[in-house]
Structure 1
Amino acid sequence: MMLETESLLLRGAMKPDDRPLWFDVYRAFPPIVEPKFARAKPENKPIRQILYKEDIIRAKFHGKGHGLSSNMLSLTGETHTKKLIQKYEQLKSQGIPEEELIDKCVVGVDSERQEASKTTVQNPDSVSSHVLAEANLKSIFKE
C-alpha cells in the first residue's frame, strides 16, 4: 500500500494534500518487520496478573463501601483511599487484629478529616469557594 501511494504521489495522480493520514507516519517510523497477510500469527501469551500489596487492602475497603469519596479541591493531593491504606499499615504494625483493622481505619481517618476541616480556614474570596457556592447539580443536568 505504501508503494502504491508513493507512486501515485510521484506521478502526480494524487495531490500531496490528498495523501492518507498514515502515509507520513509510516514513512517517518517504518515497521521493523514488513506487515504481510501471509505472516504467521504471533503466539498468544497469557497476561500476567500484577497485584500489589495495596491492591488487596484497597479491595477490602472498597468491598465494605469505604474509600470511594474524593476531594478534588484537596491541596495535599492525598486521596481518601491513600489515607486509609496509610492508617491500615500504621495500625497493623501496632498489632491490631485483622478483623478490626478496617473499621478502626475508617473511624480514625474520618475523625482526622473532621478535625482538619474544623481547623482549615476557607478563604471566601478564593475562586473555588465562589464555584462551590454557585454549584447546583440539579441545574447542571437540566441544560
Structure 2
Amino acid sequence: TRDLIRAGVLKEKPLWFDIYNAFPPLREPVFQRPRLRYGKAKAQIRDILYQEDRIRAKFYSAYGSSQKAFDLCNPNFKSTCQRFVEKYTELQKLGETDEEKLFVETGKALLAEGIILRRVGGTKTEGSHISWKPEKRDVSPQTVLEKNQPLKEVPQDQHLETPAEPSKVGGKDPTIAPVWPEERRYLQETAR
C-alpha cells in the first residue's frame, strides 16, 4: 500500500494505514491458498430420492430381484421392475391414491399383460393370514406322542425281571449300553 501511495496510484491514505504503521501485526498477513483436504468430505451430500425409488424399493422387498439378466445390448429392454414402476405411475395418474391398493392393482395389471410376479417368502398378501409368531400351546410334544401311540397290553403270564437278576444274553446285559474307557473312568470317579 505504501508503494501504491508513493507511485501516485492511491491519492489518499486508507483509514487503516496509520493504525497499521503504529501497531504492526506480529505476523505478516500473507494470503495463502487453502490446502486441499483428502479423505472424507466435510460437506454432507444429501441423498437424492425420487418417487420411483420408493416404488422400486417396495417392489424389490415384495418380489425380490428377478432371475432374468438385463439385456444391455437391447436399447428397448425394460426390466420387470421398470415396467412395474411405469404401470404404477400410470395407475397413479388415473386417480388412485392408496399406496397399498395401488401396489396390488399394479401387480394385477402386469399379470393381465402376461408378466408373472412371484412374491418372496414371508411377504403378506391381501388375502393371506400368515402369522410369523408361533402359537403358544399348553401341549408338550411328549404328551402328543403318547396319545398317538396305542397302549401295549402286557400278558399276565409274562415274567417281570427284578433289577437283581437281569437276563443275560451271551454273558452280557442287553439293557446296558457299551461304555468307552474314558466314560467308565469318569463314572467311577463321580460315584465315589
The two structures have a TM-score, normalised by structure 1, of 0.43
Q: Counting helix residues as a fraction of each chain, which structure ranks higher?
A: 1
The structure with the larger Rg is 2
- TM superposition score normalised by structure 2: 0.33
